Amino acid sequence: MIQKTPLYDTHVAAGAKIVDFAGWQMPINYGSQIEEHHCVRTDAGMFDVSHMLAIDLVGAESQTFLRRLLANDVAKLTVPGKALYSCMLQEDGGVIDDLIVYFFTPTQYRIVVNAGTSEKDLAWMRLQAADFAVSLTPRRDLAMIAVQGPQARERFWTAFPVARSYSVTLGVFQAAEWDGWLIARTGYTGEDGFEIAVPADEAATVWQKLIEAGVKPAGLGARDTLRLEAGMNLYGQDMDETQNPLESGLTWTVDFKDASRDFIGKSALAGRQAAGSLKVFLGLLLLDKGILRAHQKVVTAQGNGETTSGSFSPTLNQSIALARLPAGVQPGDEVQVEIRDKLLKAQVVKPVFARNGKSQL
């Protein structure tokens, strides 16, 4: 089934090039993907992310349920509006999805999941929720807009002056409710900004006001190169059900601290950790000329690995990739990547290439 967000007509009217993304008709760019990328790194751009799904969780056992469902520990969330990034795992440790969970009270949360996995996620959550006093409500009545860039917050406040007092004190990964909206200081670009959830019928007006405040529309193309430069994983590409978070650069999101907490996938991950020789998840910087893409073979002194995402970095003007590599490979190592039967030189780096407007290398 082909789905459209509440902003679809707005994108078409703006001359966007529309592509199919996980069954959704989405703008890939509005002209030049590279210009949109630079605009987010240097000023402010916005993305329609209404294809992602917000799910409201309420009920007496909401916290207990999430502490079982998620690999990260929501008990860390104590301030209303505070958000947490987590993986949702299978029993074998494979990643069902990565998501952001917002805490309002111990009986009230919002979970935002990927578009392509939303039906699968909801089915899994409902299955796991059967033994808990909770209810899950998908919110397809909302539109979501990510306003990102060093000037994003200022331009947002120019468009919505009254929202300033509600959102000016928000720390990173913190959200506030305002007049039926959720304003969250989160994103997927490595830049400052807000992700706002608004009623679907207000979306086009909100988008237009942001344009008038100087925010430029940006498509999924720029969103992908921005997140890749920032070293942020893309579900379905950098990890999926066949990969665990420990070998996907997401060890920092798995919380083993509370020994009494038994989250789904915990014993499998503990077993994997005990077995040792975990693959490492690192960045690659192509030294020869060419473009790295996903699923290219990486030849290292420790054996072969594989790129999981790759593209051209507009900030570095060079090709970069994320890669799953054999244990022992370290930043600074020189490796070779097979591209069309040629072996090209690449340098292993920490998987953060550019954030906050500049190179992180």
Residues that bind another protein (CB under 8 A): 17, 28-29, 32-34, 221, 225, 289-291, 293, 311-312, 314, 319, 340
Q: Which is nearer to another protein, 139 or 293 (CB)?
A: 293
CB of residue 32 to another protein, shortest distance in Å: 6
CB of residue 30 to another protein, shortest distance in Å: 11
Q: Which is nearer to another protein, 126 or 295 (CB)?
A: 295
CB of residue 273 to another protein, shortest distance in Å: 37
Q: Which is nearer to another protein, 58 or 294 (CB)?
A: 294
CB of residue 29 to another protein, shortest distance in Å: 6
CB of residue 88 to another protein, shortest distance in Å: 29
CB of residue 93 to another protein, shortest distance in Å: 32
Secondary structure, 3-state, the chain: CCECCCCHHHHHHCCCEEEEECCEEEEEECCCHHHHHHHHHHCCEEEECCCCEEEEEECCCHHHHHHHHECCCHHHCCCCCEEEEEEEECCCCCEEEEEEEEEEECCEEEEEECCCCHHHHHHHHHHHHCCCCCEEEECCCEEEEEEECCCHHHHHHHHCHHHHHHHCCCCCCEEEEECCEEEECCCCCCCCEEEEEEEHHHHHHHHHHHHHCCCEECCHHHHHHHHHHCCCCCECCCECCCCCHHHCCCHHHCCCCCCCCCCCCHHHHHHHHHHCCCCEEEEEEECCCCCCCCCCEEEECCEEEEEEEEEEECCCCEEEEEEEECCCCCCCCEEEEEECCEEEEEEEECCCCEECCEECC
Q: Which is nearer to another protein, 189 or 319 (CB)?
A: 319
Q: Which is nearer to another protein, 219 or 245 (CB)?
A: 219
Q: Which is nearer to another protein, 29 or 253 (CB)?
A: 29
CB of residue 303 to another protein, shortest distance in Å: 26
Q: Which is nearer to another protein, 17 or 164 (CB)?
A: 17
